Amino acid sequence: MGVDEVLAASRRGVRRLSPAEVVEAAARGALVVDTRTESQRRAQGELPGAVVIDRTVLEWRLDPASPYRIPEATGYDLEVVVVCRHGYSSSLAAASLRAVGLRRATDLDGGVAAWIAAGLPLTDGPADVRE
């Protein structure tokens, strides 16, 4: 199976969110997680209210049973919206979070590029980076 099939499988049966729906999700308490690199965030801007977690440690920071979790990782029912630059790696990351039990994990369809196209605000920072 190639990467396109893996990506399609990660999205099957999942409701991905539009930029406006991410705003609504954050307002109701969803955790918005930005996995873009520092250089990508510098080029595009920071997503207001998002927590920045490096993709390499995402599962450990969000699994409520992990000793390395962030304080916001309060339970497996937590609504998580993963964001990346264009909405590809975020789909894979959200699928990985669902695999560890975060059943409400999804992503921003189109990534920050869609956020920008929708005219939603970005900031110059500082970002809420979690290591």
Nearest to 92 by CA among 55, 60, 49: 55
Helix (H) or strand (E) holding 115: helix 111-117
User: Is it the case that residue 125 has pLDDT exceeding 90?
Assistant: no
Q: What is the pLDDT of residues 92-122, one digit of tens each?
A: 999 999 999 999 999 999 999 999 999 999 9
The CA distance from 77 to 59, in Å, is 15
Q: Is the dihedral of CA 98, 108, 85, 53 positive or negative?
A: negative
Q: Is the pTM of this model over 0.75?
A: yes
Query: Could you tell me the fold of the domain covering 3-130?
Result: Oxidized Rhodanese; domain 1 (3.40.250)
pLDDT at 67 over 90: yes
Q: How confident is the model at residue 12 (pLDDT cuts 50, 70, 90)?
A: very high
